[in-house]
Amino acid sequence: MRGLKWIVAAAAACGAVAAQGQAGGSVVYIQAGKVLDRPGQQPRGASTIVVRDGKVAELRDGFVAPEAGATLVDLKDRFVLPGLIDMHVHLFSSGDPLTSRLEAMNRDREDEVLQASARARTTLLAGFTTVRDLGGPPRGIRALRDAIARGELTGPTVVNAGEMISISGGHGDMGGLSEEAYDAFHPRDYNNVCNGPDDCRRAAREQVRLGADVIKFAATGGVLSNVAGGLGQQMTDAEMKAVIDTAHGFGRKAAAHSHAKEGTLAAVNAGVDTIDHGTFLDEATAKAMVARGTWLVPTMLASATAVENARKGVLPAAVLPKAEEAAAAARASHVLAVRMGVRIAFGTDTGVSKHGDNAKEFALMVDRGMTPMAAIAAATTGAAEALGQKDRLGRIAPGMAADIIAVAGDPLADVRRLETVGFVMKQGKVIKQD
């Protein structure tokens, strides 16, 4: 990406300030009024969390005085829990489609990197210490991921997919219809468009080469693509299997963008790790997901946002009927998934909705039949397992990354408490404290 190293270095000067040294040293004592250290189990009462060198070292009962040289964080009147994980975001998308369209001709790729870094900071301040970015410029998101990991920019840990793999004309083929726009960006820059199993293996390998931690593909049509082709299965069963097997061969998880039940079932049978959206589920598909242990990432917030934006006319005309169809089916499908015991990991598709509003998904999950505890577990222990990182994320326990948040009130009684996070620690550094 042209000039990207210079841009990231320049941004580091302001981004690193918020991330550095606010905890005051390598040892931090957090005195907490209540701690949900292992979501799914009952919370602890008054406790002290000892953090050393970015990891949780101990949990002690009561309020323990800090050792000499340690920093004390007073959260005695707060409810403390692990940092939240969003399994489906788009940091390179603003969540404001009209503004994006109006400004597109005056923005370069370097502008997008800086804007994405600001969205990453907003996401972290909202309590999300880890995100899975499922679609954006491969070089840009890889650079942002690495700058955050080095401490040069403030943001959540990023697990990135690069560009979504798509068939020609499918959801993910961003080439336009006009002669000037056709193939303007794809597949020359990203090589994400494929046709046939062999070509789809190549596309998956290309995303790995560009730095992807996870491989995403479009099993079905999509709501936001400017293609009036509906939401049915687009990628063949053989093409899906080629992508998934290639991802697994490189040690990556595979995520399927999927709406229609036929596409979802085909992806599940091919061994996909997560179904993202899962809008049109039936009992047979849900049973297959349960049998294979496939995770559902429902992204309930996205469908409502897409309908709202399409009706305002700020999205292409082809979007509206698809958005209304998806929104009408999504609630029943997700109620079915909860009832049948499908494993659910928290995800929002933020970038369709606005960054920083991620926690609004929790109330929608509870509305679909999940308890507040189950919804919180989906964004902590469940999401960590779906990422393949349950040994370092999702719990407050010795040896785990010190990704910790706190809220006023009890989110187990009112899950909307998570929409206002007052304290954020990432890997032992205090990022936010009201």
Confidence of residue 6 (pLDDT cuts 50, 70, 90): very low
pLDDT of res. 33? 98
Residue 105 has pLDDT above 70, yes or no: no
* CB-based contact 214:252 (threshold 8 Å): yes
pLDDT of res. 307? 67
Tell me if domain 23-83+395-433 and domain 84-387 are identical in fold.
no
- Report helix angle 4-19 to 138-149, nearest 10: 40
DSSP code, position 21: S
pLDDT of res. 327? 74
Tell me which amino acid residue 14 is.
C
Report percent pLDDT > 90 for the chain. 72
Output the six-digit token pair for 203.
């596309």
Lowest mean pLDDT among 45-49, 121-125, 127-131, 179-183: 179-183
Kindly report the pTM of this predicted structure.
0.89
Pick the CATH number of 84-387 from 1.20.200.10, 3.20.20.140, 2.40.10.340, 3.40.50.300: 3.20.20.140
The helix (H) or strand (E) run that includes residue 101 is helix 97-103
Confidence of residue 322 (pLDDT cuts 50, 70, 90): low
pLDDT in tens, 171-211: 666 655 555 554 554 444 558 999 999 999 999 999 999 99
Output the six-digit token pair for 187.
């597949």
pLDDT in tens, 37-91: 999 999 999 999 999 999 999 999 999 999 999 999 999 999 999 999 999 999 9
* Calpha distance 304→326 (Å, rounded): 9
Question: Where are the chain's structural domains?
Answer: 23-83+395-433, 84-387
Lowest mean pLDDT among 43-52, 228-237, 308-317, 343-352: 308-317
pLDDT in tens, 234-266: 999 999 999 999 999 999 999 999 998 999 999
Residue 23 has pLDDT above 50, yes or no: no
The torsion of the CA quartet 200, 205, 207, 208, rounded to 10 degrees, works out to 150
pLDDT in tens, 273-299: 999 999 999 999 999 999 999 999 999
Dihedral sign from CA coordinates of 312, 314, 318, 322: negative
3-state secondary structure 177-191: CCCCCCCCCCCCCCC
pLDDT of res. 343? 98
* Calpha distance 330→336 (Å, rounded): 10
* CB-based contact 67:27 (threshold 8 Å): yes
* Calpha distance 207→247 (Å, rounded): 10
pLDDT of res. 270? 98
pLDDT of res. 311? 65
pLDDT of res. 15? 46
pLDDT of res. 362? 98
Confidence of residue 401 (pLDDT cuts 50, 70, 90): very high
Looking at per-residue pLDDT, the higher value among 152 and 172 belongs to 152
User: Domain 23-83+395-433 is of which CATH architecture?
Assistant: Roll (2.30)
Residue 1 has pLDDT above 80, yes or no: no
